[in-house]
Structure 1
């Protein structure tokens, strides 16, 4: 099941497939924290995220002619990964047996925090040199609500972030709960259980 989640997420990153900021990334990171075992909760989603980010940036750089490997943009991307780490940490606070509604609410809350973290990073770093992003409270509020001129207003990204986080969390968590439980052999937890009808060995004289 984890690999299905990762494959679906990678497919949704195809450019133009989803509306702006309507992404499965927030749900994947949160659900990885909830459902993935041990270190896989951190390594698996981050490796897929790194691979797809690299592929996308190479396409933007050489296919679109955009300069995406500048220090400011790389630093901004690092801020996104801080947000992803927070989402995984949120997920680790819940259990796979939690109610679906609790998981969806957790996914939405995580998406909200991600939006605040990444848009604050965009305001602080201002990688595109937007004049509206002044280092004032008004500039920060502009970054969170209106955004820069010539681009869609950032409140629409906020809406899509919450919708994507909630919807994909519900889909991922619901699919996980409906999937048949793995047997001990499938999990690699040991050999098949002993035959309950087997006769106990005779006591030694």
Structure 2
């Protein structure tokens, strides 16, 4: 069976070596690169199962690398960065990262998060088979297996997290999910301080892409249940 391959993109050689050492002990293959352009080249040319990215890298920073990855690939992304403010963390998650760790870091915690993200990715792939081939609601059609969304005959581009939130809500129409429940289901992590803001930002951008900011009925697809959470109108 092919071993999982993880990309480590960090221009600090000592950090990259430390991460590689612990991933190797866990039984993973790894590839190390020191700049963003090389990270993209590797991803385009071979199968990568998960990427660990620094933000402040030469050539292309981690945000831009994530943006380019998310145009074509769904692998989990973990930011490992010295940028430690809540705004940095929220920005990273909104850009499409699945997790965010700050330096200095505990290598064993990083390995645990890698394991969790790979487990979650496998569970999501399996869960797709539980849904119908498509979900159709009032001009909106969702194709979970293709990760495609059509709104009034026009494809709309969603980030992986926006798509996962939409499938979660639409797949359980009229069920109210708290922000904590959405965070735990979609990010696969325990709810923590920035979780609420992260969910709110993703719901806001998801609504905008669904055209709800252009309609008089703002909550056409996603309704806010004040003090409780969010539900999908199916």
Structure 1-normalised TM-score?
0.31
Considering only CA atoms, is the larger Rg found in Structure 1 or Structure 2? 1
If each structure's helix is expressed as a fraction of its own residues, which one has the higher value? 1
If each structure's strand is expressed as a fraction of its own residues, which one has the higher value? 2
More RCO (CA 8 Å, sep 6+):
1
Structure 2-normalised TM-score?
0.28
